[in-house]
Amino acid sequence: MAKKKKRAASAAGAKKKKPAEQAPEAPAKKPPRDWAEIGRAYGLLLLSAVLMFLGFAGFGVWPLAFCGMVPALFVFDADPKPIGWKFFWRALFFGYIAYYGGFYWVVNTIVDFGGFPYPLALAFASIYFLYQAIEFVFVLWLWRRARERGFNATASLVAAYLTAETVFPMLFDHYYGNSFHMLPVVVQVADLGGPMLLTALAMLGNGAIYELARARIKKAPLPWRTPAVFTGAVLFVLGYGAWRIGEVEARVAAAPKIQVGVVQTNMGIYEKREDPGEGLRRHLEQSAALEAEHDLDLLVWPESAATFRVPREVGTRVGPFFDNAAAWFRIESAGFPETPLIFGGLSVGHDEDGTSRFYNTAFITDDDGAIQAHVDKTYLLAFGEYIPFGEMFPILYEWSPNTGHFTPGDHVQPLPFRDYRITTLVCYEDILPKFTRRAVREANPHLLVNVTNDAWFGDTQEPYIHLALAKMRAVEHHRYLVRATNTGVSAIIDPTGRVIAEGPLFDRDSLHGEVAMMQGETLYEHLGDWPGWLALGATLYMVLVGRRNRPEQEPPPEEQVREERIRRKREEDDDPDPEEEDEEDA
């Protein structure tokens, strides 16, 4: 009887299933958008981006450099994780806001010097912001990929971020480690591995905070390894910095000294074009005042100090050229300086076939005003000093008549000064660690000089960011760095990265300082950006080759254990007992 009932029940069940099996499958409905989750995700990304640019050089809230990435990591390590286009758009949004906040001055530059209304200037600048935002897409993709393969969150973040700084091409070279430029005791490790070593420290801090916060939220035991490594790294950086500052100061005290004067005339782009004579008058007048007040050994003028063509031939006395220019502009001239002078100006060279070549050049003269040597700017500014592919398509210069048509320099030889050598960097070459390293290795200079013009960027944070990035060159090679700018910020920086003299922004000023003529080598000079290449190797291993035996796991929190027990209990209550079925059959 029991068997008949069972067979009948089975037949009834089969009848019920039959219509379902025969019915066509309904198309899968797209799940509704979870607007609450979307709002939380983009809110965290906005917060993270703001923390990132506030922590960077410019705004200079350096403690935020240790936590800026943390909210974004929670978004991309969430459960379920954003994938596909959802991942891309979220990472791009994060990168766009971070770069817009840190490089907002690009918009102001387009407004002031391009004459475009702000909305259109923002549209043009957004092309740059979106391009740079792809760097963060790249970082977060590498990080997430390494996490999926079971690697530690902090190790993956450090490797991914340094890999991006190594291989991603940037229009304005910068490193997140520059966030600590105002902390001499911290930045001394740059002589070991450049600014990337400081980026690694920042990302190590972000990873440690993220791991602690994640464990706290999930009510799991707090991790100790990564925080311990971060603490050890900070102690090493501080200890090394304190020792290195003392060692460098001792070498500065023993080195020969010279007296340097710097002229900042506060003549912007438009002012120079409208009244080039006034610019010349201010340079000569302020130089004469510096020579009267101090026993100078060297004077430094900024980039494009001479708005007329200066002869390139060594031995040519340029004093008469300046006197003729003063007479042409009908200004009172204080006379060409009697002190050796480094200045920027326009020069013209000629090919064998007679073709003229224009150069953005830095010259040095002796006590008699005769040119001793010159060096041409190597890294030209795109769309300002040249048009990409302009040599291939000359018509581009006809379409953009205000763009310069300069030729890049072909050497990084130092400028000779008495018994010393001076490596001179033109414009933004002082923010390029690889280029500066190449110049220092070739020249073994006693002094670094930068002649530049930041008037393009207006009254924004850019001149201060430029100064912050340039300070790292002094630390990497333990040389004094003298910067002369047209409108600020001119400065004299010592070999530990401390600013010992600084001019104002958009105001006339003359600086004077004692500079030690240093020599010596650093590990960074020999090995370069080894932290980046090491990170690249580690990243390739994490995302392509290696795989941990099991994904990184943490003990389940108490609530998760309780829910798992309840789920198993319910399953046991719902499942029929096999022994009871056997008894019924019997």
pLDDT the model gives residue 367: 92
User: Is the CA virtual torsion 263, 269, 270, 274 positive or negative?
Assistant: positive
- The answer to whether 513 touches 298, Cβ cutoff 8 Å, is no
Q: Which residue has the higher pLDDT, 543 or 576?
A: 543
Which stretch of 20-24, 163-167, 312-316, 511-515 has the lowest confidence by average pLDDT?
20-24
- The answer to whether 347 touches 361, Cβ cutoff 8 Å, is yes
What are the phi and psi torsion angles at 251 (to 5°)?
-70, -35
The amino acid that residue 69 corresponds to is M
- The answer to whether 407 touches 416, Cβ cutoff 8 Å, is no
Distance CA 62, CA 355 (A): 51
pLDDT the model gives residue 14: 47
**Reported confidence tier of residue 25, pLDDT bands at 50, 70, 90:** low
- The answer to whether 343 touches 362, Cβ cutoff 8 Å, is yes
Give residue-wise pLDDT tens across range 359-381. 999 999 999 999 999 999 998 87
Which stretch of 116-120, 121-125, 399-403, 460-464 has the lowest confidence by average pLDDT?
399-403
pLDDT the model gives residue 564: 66
The number of C-alpha atoms within 13 Å of 420 and in the hemisphere containing its C-beta is 24
Rg (CA), the chain: 32
User: Considering the entire predicted model, what is its pTM?
Assistant: 0.86
pLDDT the model gives residue 356: 84
What are the phi and psi torsion angles at 306 (to 5°)?
-95, 115
11-16 long-range Cβ contacts below 8 angstroms, 24+ apart:
none
pLDDT the model gives residue 578: 46
Give residue-wise pLDDT tens across range 26-78. 666 677 888 889 999 999 999 999 999 999 998 999 999 999 999 999 999 98
Q: What is the mean pLDDT of residues 200-217?
A: 97
Distance CA 114, CA 33 (A): 42
Q: Which residues pair with 345 in a beta bridge?
A: 306, 361
Look at residue 286 and tell me whether its pLDDT is greater than 90: yes
User: Would strands 509-516 and 257-264 be described as parallel, antiparallel, or unpaired?
Assistant: antiparallel
Give residue-wise pLDDT tens across range 81-135. 888 999 999 999 999 999 999 999 988 877 776 667 888 889 988 999 999 999 9
| Residue 207 neighbours by CB distance under 10 Å | 27
Helix (H, G, I), strand (E, B) or coil at 89: helix
- The answer to whether 150 touches 128, Cβ cutoff 8 Å, is no
Q: Which residues pair with 43 in a beta bridge?
A: none
- Residue 171: partners with Cβ closer than 8 Å, 6 or more residues away: 128, 131, 132, 382
Q: Which residue has the higher pLDDT, 212 or 384?
A: 212
- The answer to whether 488 touches 454, Cβ cutoff 8 Å, is yes
Helix (H, G, I), strand (E, B) or coil at 307: strand
Distance CA 143, CA 31 (A): 28
Burial class (CB in 10 A: 0-12, 13-18, 19+), 306: buried
Look at residue 570 and tell me whether its pLDDT is greater than 70: no
**DSSP result, 483-522:** EEESSS--EEE-TTS-EEEE--SSS-EEEEEEEE------
Structural domains of the chain ordered from first start: 35-249+530-549 (no CATH), 256-518 (3.60.110.10)
Of 248, 324, 321, which Cα lies nearest the Cα of 519? 248
Six-digit token string for 176: 């997140």
